[in-house]
Structure 1
Amino acid sequence: MTGGAEPAPSRPHAVFSGVRGRLLALATAATIPIAGIAGSNAWTAYQSALAQGPRNAMILREVAVARHGAAVETLREIVTGLALRGHLLDMSPEACDAQLARLRGLTPERYSNFWVLDPDGRLVCSGLPAPRGESYAHLDYVPAVRRSHAFEFGEFTIGMLSQRAVLPGVAPILGPDDTLRGMVGGSLFLGFFLRSDRGTQVAGDRSVWLIDQDGSVLPFGSAVAGALPPPDILARIGRNGEEEVRGRARDGTDHAWSAQELEPGLRLLVGLPVQAEVAAAQAALLRRLLELGLFLTGCLAAIVFGVEIAVSRPLRRLAARVRGWAPGSPLARDPKAAGPKEVRDLDRALAAAAAALTEREEALTGALRQRDLLMAEIHHRVKNNLQIVASLLNLQAGRLRSAAAQAEFAVARDRVQALATLHRHLYLHQSFERISLRPFLEELSRQLGDALGTGPDSGIAIRIAAEDIELSSDQAISLALLITESVSNAMRYAFPDGLGGTIDISLAVDGEEALLVISDDGVGLGGAEPNGDGLGLQLIEGFAAHLGGSAEIAGEHGTRIAVRFPIHHRSVEDTLRGAA
């Protein structure tokens, strides 16, 4: 079974025009939510892995705050306790020196010194020997205590007496009326922080710094300046409570920092390199995405393979069997009948349709054969009846004495005889809807010549130049009558007084049209019908109109009749519809 060629679809359309392509597109669309969820989970895990660094830095900061903050808090408590009692100002300078020396002697590795200043910042007494009355007013914590009347830490500095790096802290001694009577100070060895930090390592690669109010940085242990955050982050981190930050350190490595304010103006900063964690998080993200891609690719491959085996192959086999099916034969069965139920149902439906078409074709073939027999019988009987009518007309014309009447009967006889000849060709050639023109025109010309007396002795010849085309029976009837009328007129009026000549009949095809030309070299229209009624020319124009064209008649040098008309094609559907 064949059909007209269809234009090739564009490549994207061709990919998704089949069942496999469409199911693959649907499966791909169905995996989008899965891919979105899995991708979102992978991204969440990646962000969580990146956040692990700041969380670890926060834990280390809490440990460091608990350890180093205790030393700072102890210094505050000792100094604040001495200031609240206020008895040191009531003692003699020597007794005050001795008491402060005993207090320092309790933990000499931790505290550098304890001292008492008057409201102007001059030394009153000290745990270490020092000149009395020496002014400490230039140190940063003296004006700070004067302003706040509260405990204040100073900047990291070198002790005036110990000549070692210390962190000073000072508390005010206030009178009953909240007036400043003096100040009690103490200093904590910064080296104590370093020894404490080395003794209790929490993470070998972490860094800890202590930052004073002036921004000076004291590194603990193995902390290096390259691990510090950029200056803008260092200036603000931890000033508003606890804070965690991740970014690039000054040496370009990835770090996480956590800071907390131990006391106003004193911050503790912990840094932790997270280069390995970032790389591990990125590797885990890539691994998850790769696993997702492999999973989806495997799923799509399984779908494609399953569709190919279960759907596409059975459909292709079915399509091949349908293409190989010939009308009149049953649809071949599939030796590998398999596939989904829908494909098997389609197979059975096509087989049933093929069987129904075969039965219908057999019925139509039988109907056509019966019609052919009937049409042959009809044309045969019509031909016989028309010949009888022609014979009766001929007999009747022989009984008439009027030459004009005999001529009219002869014309009628020729017309009837032309129709009889047409019906004879229709049933002899077993084509009841169409007729081959060339043999018909040759016989019609001979018949007219015999009837009108043309021949070698008459001096009038009929020449035919016609292509062998087929016309429908309706057009053939009009064409036969038009030629009969034109040739009869030419024989009777174009060659008067025994004048000889030639009558030419030509029929040519021009595309979907035909051109009929009947011409003679006689006297032209000047020698037309003697009765002058013009009936022959009217009939010619009428037959031309019935053919679907018009007659162009010229009569200057002989007569020329040209008719251009469309060729009507009777379709197979019309033929089958007529047989149904």
Structure 2
Amino acid sequence: MKRSALGLTQKLGWRLGFLMAATLLPLGIIAYTQTFNLKQEAQARTEAALTGATLRAASAELDAIRRAQGLVAGLAPAMPRLVEDVPGCISALNSAADFVREASIVAFVPASGLMVCSSSGATYDYSREPLFQAERGKLEPSFVVVPRGPVSGTTVLGVLHPVISSDGRYLGYVSVWMPQNEMDGVEKIFNLPGGSQDPLPVSLWTFDASGGVLTASEGRDRIDSRLPLNRNLADLATPGSKLFRDMSMGGEMLTYSVVPVEEGRLFVMGSWNQSSQSTLRDFGISPTFFPLMMWVVGLIVAVWASELLVLRHIRTLNRSIRRFAAGDRHRQEIDMRGAPVELREMAEAYLSMTDSITQDEAKLEDSIHQKEVLLREVHHRVKNNLQLIASIMNMQMRQSRTPEAKFLLKGLQDRVMSLATIHRGLYQTSGLVDVRADELLADIVRQIMKFGGGTSRTLEVEQDYDDIRLPPDQAVPLSLLLTEAMTNALKYVGRPDAHINPMIRVRLKRIKGDQAVLEVLNTVGDQKSRPPEVMLTSTGLGSQLLVAFSQQIGGTLQQQEEEDHYRLSVTFSPKPLDVADTAEDGDEETDNPTGQEG
């Protein structure tokens, strides 16, 4: 049996692997979901921890700014009354400056720009300062950073609040100014979640809604290198805390946290140098890694187990089955060591079955051989008996005195010799399920021409056969039909012309489809030239036999006589060998082809 090409998806190993993958997939999904949730929870905790740490780190700066905001907010309503008494105003502001220790000066700048009331008692005309021009007239509190204060001479942060009279007029603004060096921070240590205190270099700064840096733990002149490269501070001045990673202006990968102190006004931001043991170490591992690894390992173990316990033993059994199906009858033990009990029992049953089949085949071959020997002996004896009968008939012909009797005996002898030739061919081919028709028909023609061709006429015989194989139940009637056709051809063959020799042509050819045609053609001459015994002994028996034999082979008989030749043809379909083996019920009809009793 030819092995069909099987696709990969039809193999047992692939199907088991697919089922294992489908079985483990829900576990992988559950593990992934749990890991993802844990990662989200850890990230939320980390954000909360860094947000709190940022607020704690900036608590001093934020406290100073809030105290300054509270101070200017409290002084603003009292300033319309205090400005009427400059000494009293200076004294009040000097006392108020004690509430903000980081402040270098607390001052009221009127709408004219001439400062005469301050905690230090100094006076200064701000009317031409760009800062004053920008802040004059604003009705909302604000923050201002001055790189070099006109009074302190250093970078200062100003907290400003407008002063409005009782009738709604803008009078100026009261301000608290804090030098930057009073708010510089140092490296801070925070107790982050994770069980250890990690000293992390932290940079902190505050900024307003416009993105301007107000204070910085490292000083404003050094904070630029710590700012995020791809984020604008103004874009981060939105509600809600934020945590992200970005490259800094100085080329470091930092973690940034942004916390709004006053929505829309004041924000604090910190940059964190994340170490390999920090709380954010899980950022480098995808949450799908461990579930996927678990799924892959489980799949590998499942496939390996199926290979170890099932597949390799099935392949061993399959190879043995295929060898046996290909005709290998050598008994080979099947190595099923380590196989489950079910597979071992299957292998034992298969070996028992092959032993039984091998024994049955051996018995069948012996039986067939004996039948072939007997069949050869039958054909051999029948052939000898027919030849003996033909010899007796030949002796009878020699003793016959009339031409008619000799001619009748000669025709009967030809038929007997034809049967003997058939049985000789069957004897030589016994053991085969078919007979080569070309060899059989050529032998019959040679036999007939040997005994019936005569020596007084120069007769030409042409033969042309295709290699056609027939079952015995078609070969026998076809041979008898050829014998009758050759007998008739020899009876009526003649010279169509004085210069043309008589000729008989025998052909067996394949034609369209699965059909074949047997054709016997002989030239004819003048009826006066025929032997007288032919005219006297023509009884029509040959024609009846031709019709009967053509029916036995399932053929169509056609006879055509023209001026110079006579043609006889039989068209039939050679039987398939498996069909011919069952067609054994026609023996009675073969024994009595004419259908006549007695």
TM-score by length of 1: 0.69
1:219 lines up with 2:216 in the alignment: yes
Question: Given the alignment of the two structures, is residue 233 of structure 1 paired with residue 232 of structure 2, yes or no?
Answer: yes
Counterpart amino acid of residue 350 in structure 2: L
* Superposition map of 1:476-487 within 5 A: 476-487=475-486
Aligned counterpart for 2:89 among listed residues 87, 96, 118: 96
Q: Distance in 2 between matches of 1:568 and 1:318?
A: 38
CA distance in 1, matches of 2:494, 2:141: 152
Q: Is 2:577 the partner of 1:570? A: yes
- In the other structure, the counterpart of 2:269 is 269
Structure 1 position 255 matched with structure 2 position 254: yes
Q: CA deviation at 1:210?
A: 2.9
The answer to whether 1:114 aligns with 2:114 is no
Q: Is the 8 A contact 2:383 2:424 kept in 1?
A: yes
State the one-letter code of the partner of 2:59. A
Three-state SS of the structure 2 residue aligned to 1:221 is: coil
Check the 8 A contact 1:112/1:188 in 2, yes or no.
Answer: yes
TM-superposed CA distance for 1:71, in Å, is 0.8
Question: Aligned partners of 1:515, 1:212: CA distance in 2, in Å?
Answer: 112
User: Bigger shift: 168-177 or 251-260?
Assistant: 168-177
How many Å separate the matches in 2 of 1:201 and 1:279?
17
Q: 1 or 2, which has the higher helix percentage? A: 1
**What's the offset of the Cα at 1:332?**
5.1
Structure 2: stretches of 5+ with no match in the other structure: 191-198, 586-598
Task: Give the counterpart of 1:67 among 60, 65, 68.
Answer: 60
After TM superposition, the structure 1 = structure 2 runs for residues 390-539 of structure 1, keeping only pairs within 5 Å, are: 415=415, 418-419=418-419, 422=422, 426=426, 471-494=470-493, 523=525, 530=535, 536=542
**2:204 equivalent in structure 1:** 208
Name the residue aligned to 1:81.
74
Q: Which of 51, 56, 66 is equivalent to 1:58?
A: 51
Percent identical among aligned pairs is 21
Q: Which one is further off, 302-311 or 409-418?
A: 409-418
Whichever residue aligns with residue 206 of structure 2, its letter is L
Equivalent residue number for residue 187 of structure 1: 177
Distance 1:447 1:247, change over 3 A: closer
1:211 partner amino acid: F
Q: Is the CA contact 1:50–1:278 (under 8 Å) kept in the aligned structure 2?
A: no
In 1, the alpha carbon distance for the partners of 2:468 and 2:83 equals 147
Assess, with a 3 A threshold, how the Cα gap between structure 1 residues 459 and 250 changes in structure 2: closer, same or farther. same
**Aligned pairs for 1:283-322 within 5 A:** 284-285=285-286, 289=289, 296=296, 300=300, 303-304=303-304, 307=307, 310-317=310-317, 319-320=319-320
On the 8 A contact 2:24/2:295 being kept in 1, the answer is: no
Equivalent residue, structure 2, for 1:169: 159
Distance 2:370 2:164 in 1: 138
Of the structure 1 ranges 267-276 and 506-515, higher mean CA displacement relative to structure 2 is found in 506-515
Two-structure CA RMSD over aligned residues (Å): 5.9
The unaligned stretches of length 5 or more in structure 1 are none
Aligned residue pairs total 558
| Compared CA separation, residues 310 and 416, structure 1 to 2 (3 A) | same
User: Residue 61 of structure 1 aligns to a residue in which SS?
Assistant: helix
Structure 1 CA distance for aligned equivalents of residues 175 and 425 of structure 2: 142
Post-superposition Cα deviations, 1:105-134, rounded to whole Å, max 9, x if no partner, equal: x478522222345565554532223349x5
- 1:141–1:154: 8 Å Cα contact kept in structure 2? no
Distance 2:485 2:462 in 1: 14
CA gap of 1:416–1:180, structure 2 versus 1, over 3 A, is same
Counterparts of 1:443 and 1:199, CA distance in 2: 122
Measured at CA, do residues 290 and 210 of structure 1 come closer, stay the same or move farther in structure 2, by a change above 3 Å?
closer
SS in structure 1 of the partner of residue 75 of structure 2: helix
Deviates more, 1:84-93 or 1:229-238: 84-93
* 8 Å contact kept, 1:426–1:432: no
Cα distance change on mapping 1:282 and 1:118 into 2, 3 Å = closer
- In structure 1, C-alpha distance between the alignment counterparts of 2:580 and 2:308, rounded to whole Å: 44
Partner residue in 1 for 2:594: none
**By how many angstroms is 1:93 displaced?**
2.5
One-letter amino acid of the counterpart of residue 245, structure 2? R
Moved more, 76-85 or 373-382: 373-382
Q: Is the 8 A contact 1:27 1:300 kept in 2?
A: no
Q: 2:340 aligns to what?
A: 340
One-letter amino acid of the structure 2 residue matched with residue 110 of structure 1: E
- 1:192 CA displacement: 1.8
Distance in 2, matches of 1:293 and 1:525, equals 105
Shift of residue 208, structure 1, vs aligned partner? 1.7
The one-letter code of the counterpart of 2:90 is D
Letter paired with 1:207: S
Q: Deviations over 1:470-522 (max 9, x none)?
A: 643332333333233233224434379xx9x9886867787988776656677
CA separation of 1:169 and 1:351: change in aligned 2, threshold 3 A: closer
Q: Normalization by structure 2: what TM-score?
A: 0.67
* Displacement of 1:267: 3.5
Deviation of residue 236 (structure 1)?
A: 2.4
Distance 1:65 1:129, change over 3 A: same
Contact 2:17-2:303 at 8 Å conserved across structures: yes
Residues 221-270 of structure 1 show CA distances to partners (whole Å, capped at 9, x for unaligned) of: 26531221348621221244544443333334333333345456443332
- For the residues of structure 2 that align with 1:545 and 1:524, how far apart are their CA atoms? 32
Q: Is the 8 A contact 2:68 2:100 kept in 1?
A: no
Change beyond 3 A, Cα 1:448–1:514: same
> 1:504/1:18 Cα in 2 relative to 1: closer, same or farther (>3 Å)?
same
Question: 1:288-315 CA deviation, whole Å, 9 max, x = no partner?
Answer: 8499569836853773475156432453
Structure 2 counterpart of 1:198, from 175, 180, 186: 186
- Equivalence for 2:121: 129
Give the counterpart letter for 1:570 in structure 2: L
**Residues in 1 aligned to 2:583 and 2:279: alpha-carbon distance in whole angstroms:** 82
Cα deviations by residue, 1:344-365 (Å, 9 ceiling, x for unpaired):
3543453454456457657866
Decide which moves more: 75-84 or 532-541: 532-541
Q: Distance in 1 between matches of 2:85 and 2:63?
A: 32
Distance 1:233 1:527 in 2: 130
Q: Distance in 1 between matches of 2:402 and 2:388?
A: 23
Take 1:386 and 1:350, find their aligned partners in 2: how far apart are those partners?
Answer: 53
Taking structure 1 as reference, are residues 204 and 559 closer, same or farther at Cα in structure 2, changes over 3 Å only? closer
Please state whether the residue corresponding to 1:198 is helix, strand or coil: coil
**CA, structure 1 residues 279+312, in 2 after alignment: closer, same or farther (shift >3 Å)?**
same
